[in-house]
Amino acid sequence: MEYEHTCMIRGDGGRALRAILDQICNKWTLLVVATLDQGILRFTDLHHQIPGISQRMLTLTLRNLERDGLITRTVHAEVPPRVEYALTPTGESLIPPALALAGWAIANAPGIEASREAYAEYRQNG
């Protein structure tokens, strides 16, 4: 039992954590951050590398990350325009904990899926 440590989560009723989680755990943020871990990328690069994301959601996600200081946005005065995105040190520091969670998710995905099927079965037949 590691109850002493979970005060980090429960501390202020979870407000500090959830303020960040709200930002991190939307549909695209972690995917954008992970993609930018390969280095400087342009808008179109990201759009191509992240399957399914719309221009609108990519723009919104990038703007929020920039606002929070996790990425930089550099506009080059050229024609055609070139805009480059890169992780800041803060943004890079998010990668290890994100990987920890991703590792857990992937390791437990089969078990969770099995549990869901068993649960659905149980709800149907009793």
Partner DNA sequence: CCGTATCCGAAATGATACTG
Partner DNA sequence: CAGTATCATTTCGGATACGG
Site residues for a copy of itself, 16-75, by CB under 8 A, read 16-21, 24-25, 27, 30-31, 34-35, 37-39, 49-52, 66-70
Q: Give the total residue count for the chain.
A: 126
What amino acid occupies position 49? Answer: Q
Looking at the Cβ atoms of 5 and 56, the one nearer to DNA is 56
Give me 3's structure tokens. 């109850």
Give ∠ CA 67-73-77 in degrees, rounded to 5: 140
What amino acid occupies position 109? Answer: A
Report whether 81 contacts 75 (CB < 8 A).
yes
Looking at the Cβ atoms of 6 and 54, the one nearer to DNA is 54
Could you tell me how many residues of this chain bind a copy of itself (CB under 8 A)?
Answer: 59
d(CA 91, CA 49): 19
Site residues for DNA, 89-108, by CB under 7 A, read none
Out of 27, 93, 108, 112, which residue is the one contacting DNA (CB under 7 A)? 27
- Phi/psi for 79 (5° steps) reads -130, 120
Determine if 116 is a binding residue for DNA (CB under 7 A). Answer: no
Looking at the Cβ atoms of 63 and 82, the one nearer to a copy of itself is 63
Residues at the interface with DNA (CB under 7 A): 22, 26-28, 42-45, 52-57, 59-60, 62-63, 73, 80-83
